[in-house]
Structure 1
Amino acid sequence: MASVLTQMCLLILCGIAWRALRPGGLDGDQTRLVLTQLVYYLFLPGLILKLMSRSSLSAETWLILGYGVGIVGFGGILAALYGRWRRLPATQAGAVWLAVTFPNVTFLGLPVLQQTFGDWAALLVIQLDLFACTPLVLTLGVSVARALGDRRLDEDPFLALLRVPPLWAAGLALGLNLGGWSLPRWALDFFELLAQAVTPLMLLALGLGLDLRSLRWRSGSLVGPVIAIKLALMPLFGWWLGKRFGFVGDKLIALVLEAGMPSMLFGLVLCDRFGLDSRLYALLVTATTLFSLTSLPLWHALLKGGV
């Protein structure tokens, strides 16, 4: 896994360098927005159709869904307790809650697991994201951000789910799968071509989203516990929950690594939209992502050792 993360670090560093150097005069946030929209609307749906249209979903999908709900719920409880203990203002408490509750399942988790374990792990990530994490982000996450933010926007979170292209792709793939229909060869080759672009574009976008200027030593007392929760307690709970659900071997390791992913990038959008503390959230994303480059290989080595 160390060699996989080394390659991914280089791509993330390319994104960080682009943000600093602005080649062609392109702003880092502007470039990130273009890349994330391309992945969101085109390349990720292609990967989903490639994997899900050829794979038979089973009762294990429900266990993966339950696992996703479990880790999000546990993270949300810890985040609420932490914000209450620190007596954080509402806008900061909301940013911390989002950062702790929702892991970067897709933009970092998908590349890491697919490169480490193969396509079966990518399918696991897609099921975890589309059937658990994304619906919870767009319903529970939006509701909490609206309640704690200082901007009141009227938006139905359930309608927002209907505007998620990867979910449409998953629905189409499920229909093909359940109907026993197979895609023609040219379509599979096309989706394969789209799928190949997902990993590098996701990692570049992740690097573009990291703002190293946000790191401040004086913020350590606030950020340190978040790092400990995200990168230590969450995967530890994920290991316990995965064992309870009967997962073993590489599948258990993959799920634990997903539970130990850093904070999701999409939370920045929610912070900006609902008036939460975006600077604090950017700091938490950057810090947890940088520390995860050490914690993820450690968890992988520990679990591979048979713990």
Structure 2
Amino acid sequence: MTGVFEGFATIGAVIALGALLAHLKVVDLTAQVLLSRLAFFVASPALMVVTLGAADVSAVLSRNLVASVAAVLVAGGTYAALARFVWRRPLGHSTIGTLSASYVNAGNLGIPIAAYVLGNAAYVAPTLLLQLLVLQPVALAVLDADARGGRPPLRTMLARPFTNPLTVGSLVGVGLALTGWTLPRAVQDPLELVAHMAVPAMLIAYGIALRLGPGLGAGGSAVEVGTTSALKLVAQPLAAFVVARYLLGVEGHALLAIVVTSALPTAQNIFVHATRYDRGTVLARDTILITTIGSVPVILLVAALLG
């Protein structure tokens, strides 16, 4: 379990650094917005090229993917239904809430946990690809449309994700993985250097927001935050377990990998998207905080029961 604690400790330390810098007035909320934009438009697309370019794309065609999709549909679909029919949330807010309830931290936390706890970083690849190539582009298309107002033509909606830097970076990375091509060192080396900025920028921006933004639950619904957190920490891994074990017949270490991946906390880049589009920012921030803390005992419990 050392890898679990190391992964969470690393993330917590960088978030704490952002909060400390804000507390000491070295940076302010303007810096938080700037870091979020840098992560969104520059560093994260580079990270997608580097990460997916080295991924085993064939891993997406596995039982792991089927269970992951089912778990996302249960957690995200439940929140979307509540947001639409109970809380009457607007489209952009509902989109961020759906992501908060179902989009796992498969990158900067999932990869080290898969490598050090599960023994193989490839275990997280199906979830990573699902999120980058399906969930994220669809969500960003909806957020783009909501930010612009009205409902654009279908052709515009279909084309819009491919003008998003994160989607473009993901597609380039998948193209490299499928073809086996490698970028020239003159291109690969700068890309890797910029990619290394993505996760620290996200986490420092998040720490600044925690220190200078509204308090936990302020400006939002405690019930809604509790619901997104419960869906992420309980409903999603439970759905992954049921589908993988009883519908797909997965057992042993493979089952552990599927459930642990689904139990990962909400990804920090959801807060970046919320900030970028100014939709559901407090909901995303609070859900990330609660699930990041709460996922530690959840993952330890999963490991104890299935390991």
Aligned partners of 1:32 and 1:209 also within 8 Å: yes
2:145 is the counterpart of 1:137:
no
Mark the runs of 5 or more structure 1 residues left unpaired by the alignment.
273-277
Aligned partners of 2:234 and 2:263 also within 8 Å: no
Residues 1:251 and 1:283: Cα distance change in structure 2 (over 3 Å): same
- Counterpart of 1:114? 111
Residues 1:193 and 1:233: Cα distance change in structure 2 (over 3 Å): same
Q: What pairs with 1:101-180 in structure 2 (closer than 5 Å)?
A: 101-103=99-101, 105=103, 108-118=105-115, 120=122, 123-124=125-126, 126-139=128-141, 146=146, 152-155=149-152, 156-180=156-180
CA distance in structure 1 between the partners assigned to 2:199 and 2:234 by the alignment? 25
Q: What pairs with 1:263-282 in structure 2 (closer than 5 Å)?
A: 264-265=270-271, 266-270=273-277, 272=278, 281-282=280-281
Aligned partners of 2:102 and 2:236 also within 8 Å: no
- Counterpart of 1:95? 93
Aligned partners of 2:18 and 2:204 also within 8 Å: yes
- Per-residue deviation, 1:219: 4.7
Size of the alignment, in residue pairs? Answer: 287
Mark the runs of 5 or more structure 2 residues left unpaired by the alignment.
116-120
Residues 1:185 and 1:124: Cα distance change in structure 2 (over 3 Å): farther
Identity %: 19
- Per-residue deviation, 1:66: 4.9
Which of the residues 17, 39, 50 maps onto 1:14?
17
Residues 1:43 and 1:302: Cα distance change in structure 2 (over 3 Å): same
- Counterpart of 1:290? 289
Amino acid in structure 1 at the alignment position of 2:6: S
CA distance in structure 2 between the partners assigned to 1:104 and 1:139 by the alignment? 17
- Counterpart of 1:54? 54
2:252 is the counterpart of 1:255:
no
Amino acid in structure 2 at the alignment position of 1:4: G
Higher mean Cα deviation, 296-305 or 131-140? 131-140
- Per-residue deviation, 1:186: 4.7
Aligned partners of 2:32 and 2:209 also within 8 Å: yes
- Per-residue deviation, 1:9: 1.2
Higher mean Cα deviation, 233-242 or 67-76? 67-76
Aligned partners of 2:110 and 2:124 also within 8 Å: yes
CA distance in structure 2 between the partners assigned to 1:2 and 1:127 by the alignment? 25
Scaled by the length of structure 1, the TM-score of the pair is 0.74
- Per-residue deviation, 1:217: 11
Scaled by the length of structure 2, the TM-score of the pair is 0.74
After superposition, the CA RMSD in angstroms is: 3.6
- Per-residue deviation, 1:109: 4.0
